[in-house]
Amino acid sequence: MFLVNIVSLEVIDVSSRVSRCQEVPIRSRTEKQLSTSRPRRGTPARTRERLVAAAAVLFNRVGFHGTDSNRIAREAGYSTGTFYKHFKDKREIFLAAYETWVASEWKAVLAELSAGGAPDAMARRLVNLSVDFHTRWRGLRASLLELVFSDDHVRRFYRQQRRHQLDVMAAIRANIKAPPRSREEDAIHLFTTERTFDAIAQGELGDLGLSRKVIIEAMIEKVISVLI
């Protein structure tokens, strides 16, 4: 996969040192934020970040339909009234949490690309990174895919993110001087890698009697084909 909106993130932080193939502490900043006491006079931006962090944790743990605005507010240490000062409803904060997740993943991808190295080593790092993201946030992604099917607003937002991803895939490839590919080829790569990473994250491989190692190696080869 290659990237969407690249923004400066405070809610869900990612170490840029995943090139050493260590486990990525994706949730560390989120959990740290929620483990500290709520500041008495936090700025509106910090309050919003804390609410999004709480929402991300809850959506990932119990799904979109398993929580509500009251519980999200309590998890963040605020009243329900404070929640509605920042978000219209649960769907709006879900999209904020999803957008933060997407930007976090792509921020880490860019860090890996910037680290450089041989294409096969870089591809292995990128695949391990993506598998880790999809595994740690499989609950949030499961809710996303359900809502894409049932909610027109979420579906439009999701498609918009897709268009951004395809735009940035082309820009990154041009930047690293990789061979040009059609937008359709990029879309096939995006769809294939995301679905495969979700299958790994959700335990499908074991249920189907498939080798995780073989699948991972095949995905590495697929990413190499995009890099060179």
How far apart are the C-alpha atoms of 225 and 54, rounded to whole Å? 38
Report helix, strand or coil for 83.
helix
State the DSSP H helix or E strand holding residue 120, giving kind and residue range, or none if neither. Answer: helix 119-136
Domain assignment of residue 69, yes or no: yes
Domain assignment of residue 31, yes or no: yes
Domain assignment of residue 99, yes or no: yes
Q: What is the pLDDT of residue 219?
A: 96
Per-residue pLDDT tens over the stretch 170-201: 888 888 788 889 999 999 999 999 999 999 99
> Mean pLDDT in the chain?
83
- The yes-or-no verdict on residue 138 having pLDDT over 80 is yes
Residue among 225, 126, 129, 111 at smallest CA distance from 179: 225
CATH number at residue 36: 1.10.357.10
How far apart are the C-alpha atoms of 137 and 101, rounded to whole Å? 8
Average pLDDT over residues 101-127: 89
Per-residue pLDDT tens over the stretch 45-93: 999 999 999 999 999 999 999 999 999 999 999 999 999 999 999 999 9
The answer to whether 66 and 140 have CB atoms below 8 angstroms apart is no
Domain assignment of residue 9, yes or no: no
> How distant is the alpha carbon of residue 76 from its chain centre?
21
Determine the structural domain holding residue 100 and report its residue range: 18-227
Q: What percent of the chain has pLDDT over 90?
A: 62
Domain assignment of residue 3, yes or no: no
Domain assignment of residue 187, yes or no: yes
Report helix, strand or coil for 101.
helix
Q: What is the sign, positive or negative, of the torsion defined by CA atoms of 117, 119, 121, 124?
A: positive
pTM > 0.95: no
Q: What is the pLDDT of residue 104?
A: 87
Q: What is the pLDDT of residue 23?
A: 34
Domain assignment of residue 70, yes or no: yes
- The total number of structural domains in the chain stands at 1
**pLDDT-based confidence at residue 125 (cuts at 50, 70, 90):** very high
CA distances (Å), origin 183, targets 1, 4, 150, 176, 195: 13, 15, 27, 17, 18
The tokens for 99 are 């957008």
Domain assignment of residue 157, yes or no: yes
The answer to whether 153 and 89 have CB atoms below 8 angstroms apart is no
Q: What is the pLDDT of residue 53?
A: 94
